[in-house]
Amino acid sequence: MTPFDTGAPVTLPAHVAFVGLPGSGKSTVGRQLARRLGWTFLDTDHVIEQRMGLSIREFFEREGEAPFRDLEQSVIDELTLETSGCVLSTGGGAVLRPANRARLLDRSYAIYLHSTPEDVFRRLRHDQNRPLLQVADPLARLRDLYSLRDPLYRESARFVVETGRPSVSALVQLIAGQLESAGLVQVPRG
């Protein structure tokens, strides 16, 4: 039994979606996995920014988190329903809404890129574009986010992949291989 074997009949996915803390590698790994599979890559945060015409940070400052989460839920609903042959990267807080968790689990092969708060802090400590981390103690904030969101990420995803220290290419290779060995995708050769 592979880590991706759910015991259910296997059907080819319309798409793969990544969930996890901000900075866990969802966009980076997702972009490379999409390239590897020959699929389209979409980052829900980028789709939202294009539709709003401003950055998420600016939107948070002007409108607050609740209106952003409403828009995020609408985009996730649309992309998980209409998009096929696609790798999706979701925002770190996408799992806060039960509707998003249900759509990610039911409509995609969602993968939780599990990173510790300390690993994420090392990656993001100089990033000024993450609104929820613009606080006096970002590591404490990441620990709080992890405590709240880890169970929600696990609820939303079919698979958990430990990011730890492997390179991005090693993670992509691992995920592509597992998806293929479970019969969920065919990875192009060459």
Single out the residue of 58, 59, 25 nearest to residue 43, CA to CA: 25
pTM of the predicted model as reported, rounded to 2 decimal places: 0.87
Confidence of residue 154 (pLDDT cuts 50, 70, 90): very high
Query: Residue 5's pLDDT is what?
Result: 45
pLDDT tens by residue, 4-18: 444 443 344 568 999
Confidence of residue 190 (pLDDT cuts 50, 70, 90): low
Residue 144 has pLDDT above 60, yes or no: yes
As to burial, measured by CB atoms within 10 angstroms (0-12 exposed, 13-18 middle, 19+ buried), residue 38 is exposed
Handedness of CA 48, 53, 55, 57 (dihedral sign): negative
Query: Where are the chain's structural domains?
Result: 15-180
pLDDT tens by residue, 41-56: 999 999 999 999 998 8
- Check if CATH label 3.30.43.10 holds for domain 15-180: no
Query: Residue 132's pLDDT is what?
Result: 64
Contact 10, 183 (CB under 8 A): yes
Task: List % helix, strand, coil for the chain (3-state, nearest 5).
Answer: 55, 10, 35
Query: Residue 83's pLDDT is what?
Result: 64
pLDDT tens by residue, 96-106: 999 999 999 98
Query: Residue 143's pLDDT is what?
Result: 95
Residue that is written with structure tokens 């100089």 in the block: 126
Rounded to whole angstroms, the Cα distance separating 167 from 115 reads 13
For the residues 89-99, what does the mean pLDDT come to? 96
